Amino acid sequence: MPSNQAAWLPAQKVRPLEVKTAAYTPPGEKEIVVKNHALGLNPVDWARQDLGDALFSWTKYPCILGSDVAGEVVEVGSGVSRFRVGDRVTGLALELTSNKPSEGAFQAYTVLAAHMASPIPSTLSYEGASVLPLGLSTAACGLFQKAYLALQLPSSPPKPATGETLLVWGGSTSVGSNAIQLAVAAGYEVITTASPRNFVYVKKLGASQAFDYHSEAVVADLITAFKGKTSAGAIAIGEGSGDPCVEVVAKSSGKKFVALANPPSKELPSGIGGKFIFGSDLKDNEVGPAIYVDFLPKALADGSYIAAPDARVVGNGLESIQGGLDLLKKGVSAMKYVISL
């Protein structure tokens, strides 16, 4: 049995993470074990360390943080036919909800649910693939789950145009980069916001128009852009993004709903639906396999889906995770920080 090491969070609010031995856990039914070659870092990781029970009170300590892995399958559980030992994959680690250290990302070997993992093509590096899981999953939850925007599911090649337009506020973020591509693959036009330096980037991902979210006129400009269009609703990404999205959706014809990647700052006005997205909920419904089994493998293989934003390696080895999280706290745009193992 392989020897495993992890970057542990021994108790709430403890710094730095402690790199030490962890149990190697074989896969259960419909699970795989991945030897991790790259790990993506997300704001929720440093937030969990800094805020402890104030953020997710159910966390049991010691725990192993992290959601984004890319690596090589080393063991396959019963009931799994999609994967073989040696396959290159990326997947969403589910420790945050399962409370099982074996399912955290920040270790050498992680247990993944098979339906929340995707093969990756030989042309995509492990570092490049590790940017995907949580950003992709959060976007998919907001766009496709029945209790959220309930858009039609994506396909590769993209579905025919629906004639509806989605607002993605924060298009250059990790969640935004995936929301744009998923919506376009599902047949929706996308209008987004970003800093002007990222306009080319978000249009490369498929957005038809981009607006500067720093502009005082951005809400008025977006309302004008949606004139004559049928709104598919909005996905709001970033602190304070919900309020302007509500304004735009309220004054556009079509769906009156905002999927919120950040908790709402105040009660939504009457007639406007909205809900905070929990990025791993798709594991429990049809959206998880629709993305990781039916859509992503083909879309990555044929090049129609870009692993975005670009990976920036900020460390090598489990010992470098803490420094990477501290760097991430300072903010990042159109890029995702990654650790190589």
Instruction: Please provide residue 275's backbone torsions phi and psi, each rounded to the nearest 5 degrees.
Output: -160, 140
What is the pLDDT averaged over residues 215-243? 97
For residue 275, the model assigns a pLDDT of 96
Quick one: fold of 4-132+307-340? Quinone Oxidoreductase; Chain A, domain 1 (3.90.180)
For residue 117, the model assigns a pLDDT of 98
Q: How confident is the model at residue 263 (pLDDT cuts 50, 70, 90)?
A: confident
187-214 residue pLDDT tens: 999 999 999 999 999 999 999 999 999 9
Four-residue CA torsion sign, 53, 57, 63, 64: negative
What is the pLDDT averaged over residues 105-124? 98
6-26 residue pLDDT tens: 999 999 999 999 999 999 999
What is the pLDDT averaged over residues 245-260? 97
Helices of type H across 3-129 = 43-51, 95-98, 126-129
Domain ranges in the chain?
4-132+307-340, 137-276
Q: Which of 79, 117, 145, 130 is nearest to 279 (CA)?
A: 145
Quick one: fold of 137-276? Rossmann fold (3.40.50)
What is the pLDDT averaged over residues 116-136? 98
Question: Using an 8 Å Cβ cutoff, are 277 and 236 in contact?
Answer: no
CB atoms within 10 A of CB 324: 21
DSSP state of 51: H
* DSSP notation for 195-221: -GGGHHHHHHTT-SEEEETTSTTHHHH
Contacts of 137 (CB under 8 A, 6+ apart): 92, 116, 279, 280, 282, 288, 291
Question: Using an 8 Å Cβ cutoff, are 190 and 184 in contact?
Answer: yes
Strands 68-76 and 88-92: antiparallel
Question: Using an 8 Å Cβ cutoff, are 186 and 272 in contact?
Answer: no
CB atoms within 10 A of CB 221: 17
Let me know how long the chain is.
341
| Lowest mean pLDDT across 57-66, 244-253, 260-269 | 260-269
In the chain, % of residues over pLDDT 70: 100
For residue 68, the model assigns a pLDDT of 98
Q: How far apart are CA 292 and CA 298, in angstroms?
A: 10
For residue 146, the model assigns a pLDDT of 98
Q: Which of 193, 153, 151 is nearest to 170 (CA)?
A: 193
Packed helices 218-225 and 242-250: angle between N→C axes, nearest 10 degrees: 40
Q: How confident is the model at residue 61 (pLDDT cuts 50, 70, 90)?
A: very high
For residue 101, the model assigns a pLDDT of 98
Torsion of CA 111, 136, 291, 198, to 10 degrees: -150
Q: How far apart are CA 32 and CA 235, in angstroms?
A: 32
For residue 127, the model assigns a pLDDT of 98
For residue 264, the model assigns a pLDDT of 81
pTM of the model: 0.98
Q: How far apart are CA 22 and CA 9, in angstroms?
A: 12
Contacts of 1 (CB under 8 A, 6+ apart): 24, 26
The average confidence (pLDDT) of the chain is 97
Over its C-alpha atoms, the chain yields an Rg (Å, rounded) of: 19
